[in-house]
Amino acid sequence: MDALRYIIKRILLMIPILFGISVLTFFISNTIPGDPARLAAGPHADAKIIEELQEKMGLNDPLYVQYGRYMKNLVQGDLGTSNYSHQPVMEDIKQYFPATLELTLFSMFITILIGIPLGVISASKKDKLADQFARVMALIGVAMPAFWLGIIFLLFFYLQLGILPGSGRLDTGLAPPESITGMYTIDALLTGNWAVFNSAIIHLILPGITQAAVTIGMITRMTRSSMLEVLNSDYIRTAFAKGGSQNRVLYGHALRNGMMPILTLLGMTFGHSLGGSVLVESVFSWPGLGRYAVNAITYLDFPAVMAVTILIAVLFITVNLLIDILYQVVDPRLNYD
């Protein structure tokens, strides 16, 4: 029950944070120069139409009234209507966010699958060939700009070899699966649509690896340094003294003890990627949240900007909470107080 109390406490703590964020974004975006009504009306609209629009959009009310109205709607699940797409923002988010979530989950999956073992090997073979190799790979991954790596991948795997698709989420001609989660791979699995599943996976590969390159590098290095510290501990010596093999000690004793900083970093990159990686999404024409956000900012689409900001904040806080709960699963010494 301690765990439940802790989680409820943390969720309640989210409220003031979100309130602060919403106030900040709302007032900042409303004080930047630029008139949403004019943008919505188009460049050739006359003054009268703009005035009418301003009145209709409530732009003439004092800011706090506008904010109050916005929050009231928000609580009811209404994020307003996009000034650009003329759709409810909620609909836009439902469309773009799953794409980003899918890409992020996929790249995190690759990161964990490659980054952590590479880091463990690096630490156990410190200063040997394997470690040097991992060090160079990590450095390349971190140092290479994502858009550049993306373009190289496109040139090679798409244009040159033609074995992997270069843009979008599905082959042209395939209809997206019935939307359950909005993530094509998962929806395809749930509906048993294998053709769509295959296509969706194949489309994930290049953007996924591009996005994972940086995080693999960071996770490898973090795992290595965390493991090196742990491998010096007395209980590792005890584990060897019991007759444990190298692998048993590394993966059975050391890794879990070295997990804390790795979890922290994973959480941060996960939260960060959920906001959508503009560069990767642009290079691979991935219809994700990052591109949506950039568009919204360019067109002073305030409802969309607000929605994206609040969504990212909620995601970040949620991921952080998940990581904190994971800490306590990993380490029994941390209790829920």
Where does this chain bind another protein (CB under 8 A)? 9, 233-235, 237-246, 253, 256-257, 330-333, 337
Beta-bridge partners for 81: 88
Q: What span, in angstroms and rounded, lies between the C-alpha atoms of 154 and 283?
A: 9
Alpha helices per DSSP H over the chain: 2-31, 36-41, 47-56, 63-75, 89-110, 116-124, 129-143, 146-153, 184-191, 194-231, 234-241, 246-247, 255-257, 259-274, 278-283, 289-298, 302-330
Q: What span, in angstroms and rounded, lies between the C-alpha atoms of 215 and 328?
A: 24
Least separation, in Å, of the C-beta of 288 and another protein?
36
Beta-bridge partners for 88: 81
Query: Would you call 277 helix, strand, or coil by DSSP?
Result: coil
Pull the structure tokens for residue 296.
């919204």
Query: Would you call 231 helix, strand, or coil by DSSP?
Result: helix
322 CB neighbour count, 10 Å cutoff: 14
Nearer to another protein, 40 or 227 (CB): 227
Least separation, in Å, of the C-beta of 318 and another protein?
19
In the DSSP assignment, the letter for residue 113 is: I
Q: Is the dihedral of CA 265, 266, 268, 273 positive or negative?
A: positive
Nearer to another protein, 18 or 260 (CB): 260
Least separation, in Å, of the C-beta of 218 and another protein?
24
Least separation, in Å, of the C-beta of 259 and another protein?
9
Nearer to another protein, 56 or 242 (CB): 242
Q: How far apart are the first and last CA of the chain?
A: 12
CA distances from 189 to 69, 108, 180, 267 (A): 41, 20, 11, 27
Nearer to another protein, 203 or 224 (CB): 224
Nearer to another protein, 86 or 333 (CB): 333
Least separation, in Å, of the C-beta of 308 and another protein?
30
Nearer to another protein, 67 or 240 (CB): 240
Nearer to another protein, 171 or 331 (CB): 331
Q: What span, in angstroms and rounded, lies between the C-alpha atoms of 337 and 335?
A: 6
Least separation, in Å, of the C-beta of 239 and another protein?
7
Nearer to another protein, 116 or 183 (CB): 116
Least separation, in Å, of the C-beta of 258 and another protein?
10
109 CB neighbour count, 10 Å cutoff: 13
Least separation, in Å, of the C-beta of 46 and another protein?
58
Least separation, in Å, of the C-beta of 233 and another protein?
6
Query: Would you call 335 helix, strand, or coil by DSSP?
Result: coil
Nearer to another protein, 257 or 282 (CB): 257
